[in-house]
Structure 1
């Protein structure tokens, strides 16, 4: 029995256990993996570069639009100053619009102008508020034809 075990052990140890392993093939595969990784990193860098350029272009367009909106007040100002001026102008415009809407609402709620609205549209404020979208669209087209845009 000892001889059989010894023969089996000897045959196992004498055989080439590393027959599957090819160091050249392993090196080639490792080189391929590294090349693929470098290519992926290059693609990611290119994508980031393109995104950065697109963001920069969008920011320039936004700043140009803000400068155009501000007119001469924006000449010679930095982007931060233009942003501050634009935000102040936007806030002022919003406040003015809210104030005008509130004044119009107050005037209409006190009865001033209700007769004028009825004379122009042929409808009372109550009827205008309760109109469906289709009726409002039809009235809008009628008013455009009657009074122009």
Structure 2
């Protein structure tokens, strides 16, 4: 079902040559994202994988071909919005990042972000109500862009 949100150019796969072709079309600013949270403990500290900016050279890494990778064109942003849906109610929270790390993935530097409850135009709110609505009681949608009227789906 189309709800009218823009989605950044995305590559999913493990072929370094295809990934490099994608990067030539949509780079040089790219990000790598995990399909799901990767959690581990290192020296007694819990760690996880955040969204990370990458370069075309990193697509040559030996590990690239081992498993599927999710690479996207970087979307410049002035703000990020998390839409949380509980039942039939949707809430939008504006997230402003105040560090380089938080601008890439706000979860990586919670001390450098501020939050504000906001209203959203109808299109993103409709997307949030549809996204993952197959019986889930709680779901969320991540958006980023320059204004609340111009957001991309992440």
Does the alignment reach a TM-score above 0.5? no
Tell which structure's C-alpha radius of gyration is larger.
1
More helix per residue: 1 or 2?
Answer: 1
More strand per residue: 1 or 2?
Answer: 2
TM-score range, shorter chain: under 0.3
